[in-house]
Amino acid sequence: MTNGGKTTLTNRLIKTLPNCCVIHQDDFYKPQDQIEVGEDGFKQWDVLESLDMEAMLNTVLAWLNNPMKFARTHGINIQQNSQGSNSNDTHILILEGFLLYSYNAYRWTEIQRALPS
């Protein structure tokens, strides 16, 4: 659903939750010249093919591999726990977008397998 408040909710969550990163699907649109034009004469931005989902999945995997490094390289401050360490704290990743579940279920399963138990 477009214009359903996803970004508004995401922005509130990242302000409220500590150690929270967000990956916006909107950041993974292909260049304009690679977007197909539909029968109506308009570019088809609301279809999965308009997105570079492999790049998005690779970004998710980078976060899974090292959430602290990901946060630092994206300008996100990591809060330290009461013992002064942040290595064992909980880290949260929010994936924001309206076509997330339209993508290859097998690739999402790979990511789920990479999650710690």
The one catalytic residue in 26, 33, 40, 46 is 26
pLDDT, one tens digit per residue, over 21-51 is 999 988 999 999 999 999 999 999 888 889 9
Confidence at residue 74, expressed as pLDDT on a 0 to 100 scale: 84
Residue 52 among the catalytic residues:
no
- The dihedral over CA atoms of 82, 84, 86, 91, expressed in degrees to the nearest 10, equals 30
The full set of domains in the chain, from first to last, is 6-114 (3.40.50.300)
